[in-house]
Amino acid sequence: QITLTQQAESLWVSPGEKVSITCRASQSLLYTDGKHYLSWYQQRPGQTTKALIYHASIRTDGVPTRFIGSGSGTEFTLSIEDVQPEDIALYYCLQTLKKPSFGGGTKLELK
């Protein structure tokens, strides 16, 4: 069982700023194929949950370039540059190296 910890339950940001959301895993998410099995998701009220990033740093189709995934081993970050009002949402990390588990979520709020 792998535990993911998103330290910040909430982050406050103004439009145009940059924000970083961190996710820490209880063990390395690097597999023998050289890929990290860590993905990021956005949850907005009234919309389906959206996959943003997979394998730690690859954006899914149509995701704006202001969403940047980074990190390796056990430490991962989702950065959002030039935050837009529509980015106000809940963000979750997910590991799929073993039985899937999610981080606790980080709520992005407007200052």
CA distance 50 to 44: 9
* Positive/negative CA dihedral, 62, 75, 82, 10: positive
Which listed range, 12-20, 41-49, 62-70, 73-81, lies at the site for other proteins (CB under 8 A)? 41-49
Across the beta sheet with 4-5, the strand order is 4-5, 19-25, 75-80, 67-72
Q: How far is the CB of 101 from other proteins (least distance, A)?
A: 7
User: Least separation, in Å, of the C-beta of 104 and other proteins?
Assistant: 5
The pair phi, psi for residue 84, each rounded to 5°, is -105, 155
Applying CB under 8 A, which part among 14-22, 42-50, 63-71, 74-82 lies near other proteins?
42-50
What is the contact surface with other proteins in residues (CB under 8 A)?
31, 37, 39, 41, 43, 48-51, 54-55, 60, 92, 94, 96-97, 99-105
